[in-house]
Amino acid sequence: MRNHLTKIGLSLLAIVLVGISILAFFPPQFGTIPASPQTQKVTLPADLRGYRYCEVIPVFQWGFKLNAEVYNTLGANQCPADLWAKLESTGAKALAKQYGAAQVELNGPRYWVLNKISASGVTANGKTVDFGGIDMVQRATLQFTLWSANSIGNYAPNTVNRTNVYYYYAGNQIYELISPQGSTYIMQTLSQIKNPNLSLSDLPTLAAQLTLPQGWKYQTCTLSAEFDLVTNGKATVIQDNLLNSYQEIFTNVAPPACQ
């Protein structure tokens, strides 16, 4: 894949692992998703803002550890609605049984809020898997323990293993969550999982749709200069109650310049 094809931002990562604590009741699961030849490829637009994608996230249990593999449609297709609907009708439990996973999450459709992505290493060149006729490329992994998985949920930080840069262009509006401790998280992607009608035009007033925990706030700004969010191996991500994904801007990084 070309250099400008990249890793997800988990978004999810991105991550739709709410309720993952139930895995503590499963016997150990071992396995991975077999690779397949990539048969689908699309030319990405110069600006990814508003670009549609989907993810499949199988979770494998290795003793007391959980390993999640994040597969993403970016660069392969735009998550065809008909095939995605068929995948949803198959059901996550059936997919988990098929692949020997403890759990599978269907994470989409989503739309990028950033403008460009670049990636390196496994993040740029992960294996390809065919999920119900939809090619996806592995873009990230996450590891948990059974006891730490109990705390996963909305507005809870999670560590994602990936190496990439998210670019936010000058003149674009960005959307941030601020924790009570002062940590800043910038939105990577919006989700239509909970609200199928959510769009970019809703984001300036999204606070009205959010159930913010005490001490949290949602804010917007228009960039006066490009902001590059660099991830060298690990990123901290959260999701709001609508499952929109955000990545932390670490304290040693200059904050975005706003008009």
pLDDT tens for the chain, residues 1 to 259: 333 333 333 333 333 333 333 333 444 445 678 899 999 999 999 999 999 999 999 999 877 788 889 999 999 999 999 999 999 999 999 999 999 998 999 999 999 999 999 976 655 668 999 999 999 999 888 877 765 554 467 999 988 888 889 999 999 999 999 999 999 999 999 999 999 999 999 999 999 999 999 999 999 999 999 999 999 888 999 999 999 999 999 888 889 999 8
Beta-carbon-side half-sphere exposure of residue 250 (alpha carbons within 13 Å): 11
Residue 25 lies in a domain: no
Structure tokens at 149: 């998985």
d(CA 152, CA 24): 13
pLDDT value at residue 147: 56
Query: Considering the entire predicted model, what is its pTM?
Result: 0.83
Domain span including residue 212: 1-19+35-253
Give Dmax over CA atoms of the chain in angstroms: 54
pLDDT value at residue 119: 79
Residue 258 lies in a domain: no
Given a contact cutoff of 8 angstroms between Cβ atoms, the answer to whether 149 and 75 are in contact is no
Residue 73 lies in a domain: yes
d(CA 190, CA 243): 8
pLDDT value at residue 198: 97
Q: Quote the number of domains for the chain.
A: 1
Beta-carbon-side half-sphere exposure of residue 21 (alpha carbons within 13 Å): 7
Beta-carbon-side half-sphere exposure of residue 79 (alpha carbons within 13 Å): 22
106-144 CB burial, b ≥16 within 10 A, e <16: bbbbbbbbbbbbbbeebbbebbbbbbeebbbbbbbbbeb
Residue 208 lies in a domain: yes
Residue 78 lies in a domain: yes
Q: Which helix (H) or strand (E) holds 138?
A: strand 134-145
Residue 70 lies in a domain: yes
Structure tokens at 13: 């990562």
Residue 24 lies in a domain: no
Closest CA to 167 of 140, 190, 142, 186: 186
Given a contact cutoff of 8 angstroms between Cβ atoms, the answer to whether 149 and 66 are in contact is yes
pLDDT value at residue 6: 32
- Coil, strand or helix at 251: coil
Asked whether the bond before 109 is cis by omega within 30 degrees of 0, the reply is yes
CA 177 to chain centre: 16
pLDDT value at residue 146: 65
Given a contact cutoff of 8 angstroms between Cβ atoms, the answer to whether 228 and 186 are in contact is no
Residue 227 lies in a domain: yes
Quickly count: other Cβ atoms within 10 Å of residue 217's Cβ.
12
d(CA 183, CA 185): 7
